[in-house]
Chain A
Amino acid sequence: MRSLEYRDALREGLSQEIERDENVVIIGEEVAQYNGAYKVTKGMWEKYGDKRLMDAPISEAGFIGMGIGASMMGVRPVMELMFYSFAYVAWDQLINNAATVRYMSGGKINCPIVVRGPANGGTGVGATHSHTPENAIANMPGTKVVCPATAYDAKGLIKASIRDNDPVYFMENTMLYGETWEVPEDDYVVPIGVADVKREGSDISIITHGRCVVMALKAAEVLEAEHDVSAEVIDLRSIRPLDEETIIESVMKTNRALLVEENRPFCGVDAQISHLIQEKAFDYLDAPVKRLSAIDAPAIYSPPLEKYQIPNVDRIIKAALTIG
């Protein structure tokens, strides 16, 4: 099968949806004539024209809110945030409007909007551009939060997200855009809310999402080769809804859990996962659940320290080996 970069797979998914549904429109800063800040939408404006790809002014509250209004009218806007860190500029729109208008209207309105963009640190751009707000957004009922870790999942999940009738917050990763995976050309969809066992194992479950999945897979290879530890790697793929069954099944099998995320520890996604495991698999645990999160400070700029601050392969291996 052919290999595609994560960004190309996303583009293929977006293009298939543009062609499938005339109500799909892509709006964001530099998405059209500039070909996308990270080239996710490269060539699409030329192919699909002004109506389907629109360059927005730097005005996140305005254009995201506009997209929400348009989605209430049946348009299916796919809004790009150049960085998910800019979600905070549009927070009122994302949280007070998109996430609650269905509720406040007693179910009369729905917002089939996708807000996508990279949500990650590790690129030397400092604290304001390195946020990973999946925990903060998933905390708000009414939202769906999706974090694809591979090109295959990126394509299948963006298509599912666009077809979804609820607001979907779709978080990518700039450090994955250039990585390649096998991706079929066909029109497949990866349903939201289904975790993926990316590697089977028997001694420990590494439960993670986003780019940490890639690091966990590398760590699992080393654990197997050098430490005789068989690690299972669970990719959550979506945070809300959450595939609890796959998590619990894995922990019941391995009896140990290491939770890895780029989120900060306090109220991070893995705080919820940890609670879930103790609630539903308490008797199966041979050791306390361990968490590896970003070190609990704003994202540091200094490149070597930044690499240390967010989880990396070495730290995952070390954390796994500390579990008794």
Chain B
Amino acid sequence: MVKKTADLEYGSSRVNQSLSPEQKIGLLRDMIRIRRFEERSLKAYSRGNIAGFLHLYNGQEAVAIGAISVCGENDHLITAYRDHGHALGVGMSMNECMAELYGKATGCSKGKGGSMHFFAPDKNYWGGHGIVGGQTPLGAGIAFGLKYRGITGSCLCFLGDGAVNQGAFHESLNLASLWDLPVIYVIENNGYSMGTSQSRSSRYTECLAKRAEGYDMAWDQCFGHDIYEVRDHIQKAIDRAHGESRPTLIEIDTYRYEGHSVADANKKIYRAPEEIEAYKKTKDPINVFYSKLIEEEIINEKQFKEISQSASEEANKAAEFAERSPYPEPSSILEDVYWETDNPEQRSSKGRIFFNDEF
């Protein structure tokens, strides 16, 4: 663990020094909003309102919010299936996200994507991808698109520690370095690929990010419970992407409180409850940052409670919105399949495109 420098005072680093008190409180609020959203969605899942998988982000909030908070106008994001935190971080509303979980027509993907597939390209957010590692070539492609079109920007492509052994990821690292793509691969290392610990799934020296050396790519590593630290390290990678059009592989150590997904039957078996409690006590990203802001005399307990309360109310209202929203109409099953069938007046192809005898 050579590169970890947890003792550094990240609060005084350039990227953090420039933050106003209001911006700092904003970062805390953004993390708390994710936490409350996830807690409320877990409740909805338990009540049977949400189908399929629900991969919760609780414990990892400083990674998404820290990274997004240093992004500029032309910095883009793409991630895997644990995508709610990033979605709220880029500015998607709780309503559209919760409604998507409920499978409602008012959801961000009109009820067609579900938990793993949130998208907001208008906010530079490209999803939300269900196949482990499958989004990593897309991240290279988004960076390629920026470079091809002469735009100075970057793509932050998030993946879990379980994705690092996928072939598509290694192919992406090679392409990114070979073609000088401004992509930043962010391994959110929460220690477990589903129920298999990192030591049982990956062979490596020192850390996963060091694998970048094999591709002549810059790499970095930091802790993910301190938002100041995340911001500092991501900013350096963005500077490299903007300034040199070079990729970075950065590994951020973090932790998830829930199972791989809510449907993870063994979540209390493959790791000790003490491990979870220890993280919560000493490294919870919200508490860590709250303590720092107390030290900096930027916030007091009353304000913190207000923010928390307001986030809870917002999440509850989102659940109410989702509950009263309509399900999509059966006719919508055949919408959003092709650009051309969604834009019939501009269709240039002919012929039959859907093939059921009856619908």
| Residues in A lying within 8 Å of B, measured CB to CB | 23, 25, 51, 54, 56-57, 59, 61-75, 92-93, 96-97, 101-110, 112, 141-142, 144, 160, 163-166, 191-195, 238, 240-244, 272, 279
**10 nearest interchain CB pairs?**
A69-B141, A65-B137, A62-B171, A73-B145, A193-B351, A241-B351, A107-B336, A69-B138, A105-B119, A106-B110
When A73-B149, A241-B349 are in contact, do A109 and B121 touch as well, CB less than 8 Å?
yes
CA of A238 to CA of B349 in the docked complex: distance in angstroms? 10
Contact B141 A59 (CB under 8 A): no
CA of A70 to CA of B120 in the docked complex: distance in angstroms? 16
Contact A104 B127 (CB under 8 A): yes
CA of A69 to CA of B136 in the docked complex: distance in angstroms? 9
CA of A54 to CA of B126 in the docked complex: distance in angstroms? 25
Contact A92 B338 (CB under 8 A): no
CB of B326 to closest CB in A, whole Å: 15
| Residues in B lying within 8 Å of A, measured CB to CB | 78, 107-113, 117, 119-122, 126-131, 134-146, 148-149, 155, 167-168, 171-172, 174-175, 178-179, 335-340, 342-343, 348-355, 357
B337 partner, pick from A62, A67, A96, A102, beta carbons under 8 A:
A102
CA of A313 to CA of B66 in the docked complex: distance in angstroms? 66
Question: Could you say which residues of chain B place their CB within 8 Å of the CB of A96?
Answer: 130-131, 134
CA of A194 to CA of B352 in the docked complex: distance in angstroms? 10
Q: Which residue of A lies closest to B354 (CB)?
A: A141
Contact A64 B109 (CB under 8 A): no
Contact B142 A73 (CB under 8 A): yes
When A25-B148, A57-B175, A72-B145 are in contact, do A105 and B127 touch as well, CB less than 8 Å?
yes
Question: Could you say which residues of chain A place their CB within 8 Å of the CB of B139?
Answer: 69
CA of A109 to CA of B357 in the docked complex: distance in angstroms? 28
Question: Could you say which residues of chain B place their CB within 8 Å of the CB of A62?
Answer: 137, 140, 168, 171-172, 174-175
Give me 17 other A-B pairs in contact (C-beta within 8 A), A104-B113, A106-B113 excluded: A25-B148, A61-B168, A61-B171, A63-B171, A67-B141, A70-B144, A74-B149, A97-B129, A97-B138, A101-B119, A102-B338, A103-B337, A105-B109, A108-B121, A108-B122, A142-B338, A240-B353
Number of residue pairs spanning A and B whose beta carbons lie under 8 angstroms apart:
200
Contact B168 A70 (CB under 8 A): no
CA of A268 to CA of B168 in the docked complex: distance in angstroms? 29
Contact A165 B339 (CB under 8 A): yes
Question: Could you say which residues of chain A place their CB within 8 Å of the CB of B134?
Answer: 65, 92-93, 96-97
When A59-B171, A160-B349 are in contact, do A72 and B142 touch as well, CB less than 8 Å?
yes
Contact A192 B349 (CB under 8 A): yes
Candidate in B107, B137, B167, B178 with the most chain A CB atoms within 10 angstroms: B137
When A106-B110, A107-B335, A160-B348 are in contact, do A70 and B142 touch as well, CB less than 8 Å?
yes
When A103-B336, A106-B113, A191-B349 are in contact, do A65 and B107 touch as well, CB less than 8 Å?
no
CA of A243 to CA of B351 in the docked complex: distance in angstroms? 4
Contact B113 A72 (CB under 8 A): no
CB of B281 to closest CB in A, whole Å: 38
When A102-B338, A164-B349 are in contact, do A66 and B140 touch as well, CB less than 8 Å?
yes
Listed A/B pairs (27) with beta-carbon separation below 8 Å: A25-B148, A57-B178, A61-B171, A62-B137, A63-B171, A65-B172, A66-B175, A68-B137, A69-B139, A69-B141, A71-B145, A72-B126, A97-B134, A97-B138, A103-B336, A104-B109, A104-B113, A105-B109, A106-B110, A106-B112, A106-B113, A108-B120, A141-B337, A142-B338, A238-B351, A240-B353, A241-B352
Q: Which residue of B lies closest to A243 (CB)?
A: B351
Q: Which residue of B lies closest to A238 (CB)?
A: B351
Question: Could you say which residues of chain A place their CB within 8 Å of the CB of B109?
Answer: 104-106, 108
CA of A97 to CA of B175 in the docked complex: distance in angstroms? 18
Question: Could you say which residues of chain B place their CB within 8 Å of the CB of A191?
Answer: 348-350
CA of A192 to CA of B353 in the docked complex: distance in angstroms? 11
A192 partner, pick from B78, B108, B350, beta carbons under 8 A:
B350
Q: Which residue of B lies closest to A101 (CB)?
A: B127
Question: Could you say which residues of chain A place their CB within 8 Å of the CB of B137?
Answer: 61-66, 68-69, 93
B107 partner, pick from A23, A63, A70, A106, beta carbons under 8 A:
A106
Question: Could you say which residues of chain A place their CB within 8 Å of the CB of B135?
Answer: 97
CA of A106 to CA of B105 in the docked complex: distance in angstroms? 10
When A62-B137, A97-B134, A142-B338 are in contact, do A73 and B349 touch as well, CB less than 8 Å?
no
Question: Could you say which residues of chain B place their CB within 8 Å of the CB of A105?
Answer: 109, 112-113, 117, 119, 121, 127-128, 336
CB of B164 to closest CB in A, whole Å: 15
B141 partner, pick from A51, A72, A240, beta carbons under 8 A:
A72
CA of A101 to CA of B337 in the docked complex: distance in angstroms? 9
CB of B97 to closest CB in A, whole Å: 13
Question: Could you say which residues of chain B place their CB within 8 Å of the CB of A69?
Answer: 78, 126, 137-145, 155
When A92-B168, A104-B113 are in contact, do A66 and B350 touch as well, CB less than 8 Å?
no
CA of A135 to CA of B138 in the docked complex: distance in angstroms? 25
When A62-B140, A107-B110 are in contact, do A92 and B145 touch as well, CB less than 8 Å?
no
CA of A305 to CA of B109 in the docked complex: distance in angstroms? 51
Question: Could you say which residues of chain B place their CB within 8 Å of the CB of A73?
Answer: 141-142, 144-146, 149
Question: Could you say which residues of chain B place their CB within 8 Å of the CB of A104?
Answer: 109, 112-113, 117, 119, 127-128
CA of A66 to CA of B128 in the docked complex: distance in angstroms? 16
Question: Could you say which residues of chain A place their CB within 8 Å of the CB of B149?
Answer: 23, 73-75
